[in-house]
């Protein structure tokens, strides 16, 4: 199977990056992680790129050359899919135009509910009965594009923020790879 080349954008821990790298070792998984980009030089997740000999680049998103530099590198590595995995920056219109329907994001709530930050706090405050995660295409609005996959669980009365985080992130480890498979099945 010829695999598509993917780039993962991170800002922090990188557990989704680590998981996607593992999954990409499966013969049938449609992508290889060819590149990792971080906007944060202290992102823990960079270690997964290093450990797996995957090229990685760190760029300051505040630089006026950011888009130019990143777009050049993506082109150089022939990247076909961009996976945002805990990437804490907004993707510019310029970027979205170049990679139409090729940028996906994972979000720790059942979108369209609880877009943005501090999802677990808000989920508890709103006394939701269930929550989960969403993988969606990225558009110009935050946490807004077409949904590819969602996974949910029922919230227990004694669940605290840390429990929601644990359960949500566990679901993410299936949701992200399944979304990637779904994309290449339907395209």
CB 30 within 8 A of CB 184: yes
Closer residue to ligand GRF in complex, CB, 25/75: 25
Q: Does 13 bind ligand GRF (CB under 6 A)?
A: yes
- Closer residue to ligand GRF in complex, CB, 30/45: 45
Cβ 39 vs Cβ 6: under 8 Å: no
Of 34-73, binders to ligand GRF (CB under 6 A) are 45
Q: 95 to each of 6, 17, 62, 69, 158, how far by Cα in Å? A: 15, 21, 15, 11, 42
174 binding ligand GRF? (CB under 6 A): no
Show the CA angle centred on residue 72, arms to residues 70 and 75, nearest 5°. Answer: 110
* Closest CB to ligand GRF among residues 99, 114: 114
- Of 49-57, 66-74, 92-100, 103-111, the window that binds ligand GRF (rule: CB under 6 A) is 103-111
Which of 30, 108, 132, 145 contacts ligand GRF by CB under 6 A? 108
From residue 99, give the alpha-carbon distance in Å to each of 48, 75, 112, 140, 177.
25, 11, 23, 12, 20
For residue 13, the minimal CB distance to ligand GRF (Å) is 4
Q: Nearer Cβ to ligand GRF, position 16 or 39?
A: 16
- Of 139, 150, 152, 169, the residue at the interface with ligand GRF (CB under 6 A) is 169
Tell me which residues are annotated as active site: 107
The C-alpha atoms of residue 11 and residue 86 are separated, in whole angstroms, by 6
Helix H or strand E encompassing 126: none
- The answer to the question of residue 16 lying near ligand GRF (CB under 6 A) is yes
């Amino acid at each position: 199977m010829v695999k598509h080349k993917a780039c993962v954008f991170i800002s922090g821990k990188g557990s989704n990056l680590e998981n996607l790298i593992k999954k990409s070792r499966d013969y049938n998984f449609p992508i290889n992680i060819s590149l990792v980009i971080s906007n944060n030089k202290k992102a823990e997740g960079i270690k997964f790129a290093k450990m797996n000999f995957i090229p990685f680049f760190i760029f300051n998103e505040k630089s006026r050359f950011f888009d130019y530099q990143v777009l050049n590198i993506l082109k150089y590595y022939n990247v076909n899919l961009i996976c945002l995995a805990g990437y804490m920056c907004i993707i510019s219109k310029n970027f979205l135009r170049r990679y139409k329907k090729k940028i996906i994001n994972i979000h720790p709530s059942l979108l369209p509910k609880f877009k943005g930050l501090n999802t677990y706090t808000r989920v508890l405050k709103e006394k939701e009965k269930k929550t989960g995660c969403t993988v969606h295409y990225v558009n110009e609005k935050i946490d807004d594009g077409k949904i590819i996959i969602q996974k949910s669980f029922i919230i227990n009365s004694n669940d605290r923020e840390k429990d929601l985080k644990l359960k949500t992130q566990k679901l993410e480890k299936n949701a992200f790879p399944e979304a990637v498979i779904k994309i290449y099945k339907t395209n």
